[in-house]
Amino acid sequence: MTAQAQTLLKEIFGYNEFRGQQAEIISHVVNGNSCLVLMPTGGGKSLCYQIPALLRKGVGIVVSPLIALMENQVAVLRERSVRAAYLNSTLTPGATAAIEQGMLAGDYDLVYVAPERLLTPRFHILLQRIPIALFAIDEAHCVSQWGHDFRPEYGKLSILPRKFPQIPRIALTASADAKTRADILRCLDLHRARTFTSSFDRPNLCYRITARSNGRMQLLDFIRNQHPGEAGIIYCQSRKKVEETATWLNANHVPALAYHAGMETVVRTRHQKKFLQQEDIVMVATSAFGLGIDKPDIRFVAHLDLPKSIESYYQETGRAGRDGLPADAWMVYGPSDIIRLRYQVESDTEPVSIPIRQAAAARLNALLALCETTACRRIQLLEYFDEPSDSAISACGNCDACLTTTPVQDATIAAQKALSCVYRTGQNFGMEYLIDVLIGKRTDRIRQWGHDHVSTFGIGRELSVEGWRIVFRHLLALGYFTTGEERFTLQLAPAARSVLRGEIRIKLRLSPCHYAISHQPISTDLSASSMPDSRETRSGI
């Protein structure tokens, strides 16, 4: 078998050697066994079911959630003379019937189907009449309600082990935490099957997450200094921001194209083609861009806005450096990202249960913790995917935390000042206003509210506005602040008490630019009067 697989690898796919666990997985499936494959994006999951489908009798049925992706895969396979087809809602009834006839006649080795198609009684009858090589369930994390990409039709795939218990099932995903993994095993009845886990580490990617001051200018500096004339992807949250950023980059002599779901298909396709063919183009896109994109020489992925989970961050950054050469995963983020994403989780209008909402909130908090960590980003990222790190290694040497010379400082006092200032001004104001109070700026608004007379007025002159933004962002990210009815006003969360009492120490990296010109260290103790006293701390906050 190994020799046959090797021949197919070379003759059809044009590769000399299997990568990582591919050979082992293929041999396992060819022998009629089921399995779960956890492999990072770009690891080479497709061959793990394509080659067994070619080697085993009958047709390999591939369940895939994304129409564009299945069309692309089938086109590539056909170019390589593999007998492949797809069935999804874009086909006319006539075309569908023709493919179904072809399946009955044994014309195909691989057929990609949308999950809803697989679930129809009509399709079941068809499947019962033909030999099936295997079922491959791509993006298998979609079965899990806990996952970041739940699709109800995927949940119904539990019908496969019941109706076709003898046919090997191979479930594949690039992201599955322990809970999601358990759901996949349960849904597809893979408890007795083997799990193949590859490392999620991408050692050639350098992770950097920076405080946003002026996102665009920071991006332009980053491209000019680190990646002039190179290909990259820039992710933004909104379509409007995608277009504005692309226009702005072009005006600044960085060739850039836009891509988002609201654009006409022809334009989108043209942009995608150009990006794939040219070496020096930057693609500015929403998260709609990138699935199935296989461009090996993307030198950077930049995020101008925070994605919604570590899974998304990992998948999106994973598109850089597929060729194994050094590449950057760069992101700027600030307090507004946190407020926006928390609001999205809380105001999600879909009728989801409380545990599911809590799971979404937990995913966001994990991402925020990654952004706020002062320790190695890579280790934290891999731990999120339950990958045990070598306990002897505490730093990867290729992320901003490992590379920076800025020391970690105890910023507990600054944090206490920020929290007290929120309390003293009535928990009804936004961050910029509060910073003005802390640095003692007598604006009209501050005078109107009489906040130039509160005890926290001017007690924070040691830090610059940027420095204070970092303190506030950190407290917001770690849940010491909540936002009020109006999204941008800050209030104290119950956990703030432990910081005010000094039971929890706040650690931050603050560089010289985060201090005021006078550059005083943060050593001033809070005067007793500016702190909420213990009685207030117990009852009021």
Which residues are CB-neighbours of 300 under 8 A, at least 6 positions away?
Answer: 222, 223, 226, 227, 230, 232, 233, 320, 327, 328, 329, 330
Is residue 286 within 8 A of residue 243, CB to CB? The reply is: no
Nearer to Zn ion, 160 or 396 (CB): 396
Residue 402 near Zn ion by CB under 5 A = yes
Residue number with CB closer to Zn ion (282 or 381): 381
Q: Let me know how many helices (H) and strands (E) the chain has, helices first.
A: 24, 17
Which residues fall within 8 angstroms of residue 24, CB to CB, at 6 or more apart? Answer: 196
SS3 label, residue 399: strand
Residue 382 Cβ, how far from Zn ion at the closest point, in Å?
Answer: 10
Residue 206 near Zn ion by CB under 5 A:
no
Euclidean distance between CA atoms 412 and 407, whole angstroms: 15
Task: Pick between residue 115 and residue 290 the one whose CB is nearest to ligand ADP.
Answer: 290
Measure Cα distances from 431 to 110, 414, 421 in Å: 56, 14, 10
Which of 113, 396, 478, 493 touches Zn ion by CB under 5 A? 396
By CB under 5 A, residue 368 contacts Zn ion: no
Choice between 47 and 418, CB closer to ligand ADP = 47
30 burial level (CB within 10 Å; 0-12, 13-18, 19+): buried
Minimum distance of ligand ADP from residue 174's CB (angstroms): 6
Closest C-alpha among 179, 192, 201, 109 to residue 387 = 201
Alpha carbon of 386 to those of 22, 191, 209: distances in Å?
Answer: 21, 19, 22
Tell me the closest approach of the beta carbon of residue 204 to ligand ADP, in angstroms: 15
Residues 263-322 that bind ligand ADP (CB under 6 A): 294
| Binding status of residue 44 toward ligand ADP by CB under 6 A | yes
Task: Based on the shown chain and the rule CB under 5 A, indicate whether residue 399 belongs to the binding site for Zn ion.
Answer: yes
Is residue 18 part of the contact set for ligand ADP (CB under 6 A)?
yes
Closest contact distance (angstroms) between CB of 47 and ligand ADP is: 5
- Among the listed residues 1, 2, 10, 15, the single contact to ligand ADP using CB under 6 A: 15
Q: Which is nearer to ligand ADP, 200 or 207 (CB)?
A: 200
Bridge partners for 240 per DSSP: none
Position 343 contacts ligand ADP (CB under 6 A): no
Asked if 60 interacts with ligand ADP (CB under 6 A), we say no
Q: What is the number of other CB atoms lying within 10 angstroms of the CB of residue 175?
A: 24
What is the closest distance, in whole angstroms, from the C-beta atom of residue 397 to Zn ion in the complex? 6
Q: Is residue 463 a contact point for Zn ion (CB under 5 A)?
A: no
Task: Name residue 108's amino acid.
Answer: Y
Q: Residue 231, SS3?
A: coil
Which range binds ligand ADP by CB under 6 A, 16-24, 79-87, 117-125, 381-389?
16-24
**Under 8 Å between Cβ of 292 and 315:** no
d(CA 293, CA 76): 12
- Residue 290 CB, shortest distance to ligand ADP, in Å, is 11
Q: How far is the CB of 319 from ligand ADP (least distance, A)?
A: 10
SS3 173: strand
Q: Give whole-number Cα distances, 83 to 1, 112, 257, 323, in Å.
A: 21, 11, 35, 29
Q: Determine the Cα angle at 319 with ends 11 and 307, to 5°.
A: 150
Measured from the CB atom, the residue of 80 and 505 that comes closer to ligand ADP is 80
Residues 6+ apart with CB under 8 A from 101: none
CA–CA gap between residue 447 and residue 449 (Å, rounded): 5
467 is a contact residue toward ligand ADP (CB under 6 A): no
Check residue 376 for interaction with Zn ion (CB under 5 A).
yes
- Least Å from the CB of residue 381 to Zn ion: 9
Among ligand ADP, Zn ion, none, residue 378 binds (CB under 5-8 Å by kind): Zn ion
Q: Is 404 left (phi over 0), alpha (psi -120 to 50) or beta?
A: beta
- From Zn ion, ligand ADP, none, which one binds at residue 294 (CB under 5 to 8 Å depending on kind)? ligand ADP
We find the least distance from the C-beta atom of residue 383 to ligand ADP, in angstroms, to be 22
Q: Toward ligand ADP, which CB reaches closer, 8 or 492?
A: 8
Shortest separation between residue 51's beta carbon and ligand ADP, angstroms:
10
Q: Is residue 39 within the footprint of ligand ADP (CB under 6 A)?
A: yes
172: β partners: 37
Closest distance between ligand ADP and the C-beta of residue 235, in Å? 18
**326 interacts with, out of Zn ion, ligand ADP, none, CB within 5 to 8 A per kind:** none
Token pair belonging to 445: 């608004």
18 binds, among ligand ADP, Zn ion, none (CB under 5 to 8 A by kind): ligand ADP
Q: Among 34-42, 182-190, 212-220, 505-513, which window interacts with ligand ADP (CB under 6 A)?
A: 34-42
Strand-pair partners of 209 = 331
Q: Give the range of 26-34, 92-100, 376-384, 472-480 binding Zn ion by CB under 5 A.
A: 376-384
Q: Is residue 225 within 8 Å of residue 291, measured between CB atoms?
A: no
Chain residues 19-58 in contact with Zn ion, contact rule CB under 5 A? none
Place of tokens 């009858």: 125
CB of 154 to ligand ADP, least distance (A): 17
Sites of contact with ligand ADP (CB under 6 A) = 15, 17-19, 22, 39, 41-47, 294
Sites of contact with Zn ion (CB under 5 A) = 376, 378, 396, 399, 402
